[in-house]
Amino acid sequence: MRKVVILGATGSIGRQCLEVLKDQNGFSVVGLAADSRWEELLDAVVRHRPRFVAMVNPEASRCLAQALSERGCSGIQVLQGQEGVSKLAALEEADIVVHAIPGFEGLRSLLAAVQAGKTVAFAGKESLVSAGDLIARTMEVTGARLIPVDSEHSAIFQCLAGEDRGDVSGIILTASGGPFWDKSLEEMGTVGPAEALRHPTWRMGPKITVDSATFFNKALEVIEAHYLFGVDYDRVSVLVHREAIVHSMVVFKDGSVKALMSYPDMRLPISYALNYPARGQALTSQLDLAGRTLSFSQPDLLRFPCLELGYRAGRMGGTAPCFISAADEEAVRLFLSGVIPFTAIYPVLDLALSGYAPVSPSSIETLEREARRGKLKVREIVESGAWRA
């Protein structure tokens, strides 16, 4: 029996993970963590009966503990705060930790899991982007492993199985194009949060959905690929593929290209990460390619310039990925709360990164400081209106 902890259990990935586990044998859920939506977590706890739960918000964790006791659910330990989530990340009895916490907030728990030498089914890309070097160094010492859940990185991971890394000449990340692929820059100037949150292909949390609309999600994925697969930025490229059937590709030195295909369904990469190195049971119908046309095109950097920020921050190195990722979190928050228009996100981030001098990402405290600086810089630029120039 493989024992699973899910961090971010009430979110899009967390819920799909629980759905996958419901249909597969050989797993038991031993820990569930979330931020503050205790009623959603309660449902999952009642269904899966983990031994441990954790909520960041103390009031939410009190409500959850009370509700569990009223329902007679005994023997479940309720932890609270960021420390509680990190304790679950490092839980001794866990065989797999699913990390699905968005944003910089997920870093402490990812680091806790990696320090404890865990196998991590890993979705929280902002944490790896922010602290790629620190996490890689820690993994070398503890033997922890990251099995990607992001569909593109799972595809690359699967294409690399059995291959010599020295034979890889490049990685091609595919992008479905998001909700605004057909819109002109002028039209994008008037889109509001509701439209940005309506992704045509994937049902995801709000942060990643807006990032998909700006293409900043692909910028994060470029850096994620660099850290996960050890390829330099010149060898990571992006192709728009509207049908979302090819989830990414690996190019080999002999000119061969391997691609991973399936219908777009996040339960597949989740199941792969949970079952690795085996494969789980069928979750979707088998892909039927007859009569289908698959199309690929270059991303339009004039309309989606955020993609460039990933390459730029990645090549700057040091704390630049951490800074720009946190800056984006703040820009997305300001967009979703109606403070800035959609088309302000790129100029704000561009200005922030242009004036930034990265430092060595030596410790988590340094990264926390630089992430705070990234968010602060965005607020300064927005308040001054400098991005309009």
Residues within the interface to ligand NAP (CB under 6 A): 7-14, 33-37, 40, 56, 85, 100-102, 105, 123-126, 150, 202, 204-205, 208, 266
Query: At CA 86, angle to CA 81 and CA 90, rounded to 5?
Result: 150
CB of 19 to ligand NAP, least distance (A): 13
Q: Cβ neighbours of residue 272 under 8 Å, at least 6 residues apart?
A: 147, 154, 158, 279, 280
Residue nearest to ligand NAP (CB): 11
- What span, in angstroms and rounded, lies between the C-alpha atoms of 209 and 31? 27
Q: What share of the chain is helix, strand, coil (3-state, %, to 5)?
A: 50, 15, 35
CB of 81 to ligand NAP, least distance (A): 9
- What span, in angstroms and rounded, lies between the C-alpha atoms of 305 and 244? 21
- What span, in angstroms and rounded, lies between the C-alpha atoms of 239 and 179? 16
- What span, in angstroms and rounded, lies between the C-alpha atoms of 365 and 252? 39
102 or 299: CB nearest ligand NAP:
102
User: Is the peptide bond prior to 277 cis by the omega test (within 30 degrees of 0)?
Assistant: yes
Reading the block at residue 223, the tokens are 């850096």
Q: Cβ neighbours of residue 221 under 8 Å, at least 6 residues apart?
A: 125, 150, 152, 153, 173, 310
Which value, in Å, is the radius of gyration of the alpha carbons in the chain?
20
CB of 309 to ligand NAP, least distance (A): 16
CB of 152 to ligand NAP, least distance (A): 8
9 or 353: CB nearest ligand NAP:
9
62 or 252: CB nearest ligand NAP:
62
Reading the block at residue 192, the tokens are 């509001």
- What span, in angstroms and rounded, lies between the C-alpha atoms of 61 and 88? 14
12 or 158: CB nearest ligand NAP:
12
Query: At CA 384, angle to CA 382 and CA 389, rounded to 5?
Result: 85
44 or 249: CB nearest ligand NAP:
44
- What span, in angstroms and rounded, lies between the C-alpha atoms of 323 and 326? 5
157 or 387: CB nearest ligand NAP:
157
CB of 191 to ligand NAP, least distance (A): 20
Which one, of 325, 197, 178, 149, lies nearest residue 238 by Cα? 178
- What span, in angstroms and rounded, lies between the C-alpha atoms of 307 and 173? 12
CB of 253 to ligand NAP, least distance (A): 29
CB of 99 to ligand NAP, least distance (A): 8
Count of other CB atoms within 10 angstroms of residue 90? 18
Q: Which residues does residue 236 pair with via DSSP β-bridges, in sequence order? A: 171
89 or 344: CB nearest ligand NAP:
89
CB of 77 to ligand NAP, least distance (A): 16
- What span, in angstroms and rounded, lies between the C-alpha atoms of 98 and 27? 13
119 or 127: CB nearest ligand NAP:
127
CB of 367 to ligand NAP, least distance (A): 15
128 or 352: CB nearest ligand NAP:
128
259 or 336: CB nearest ligand NAP:
336
CB of 125 to ligand NAP, least distance (A): 5
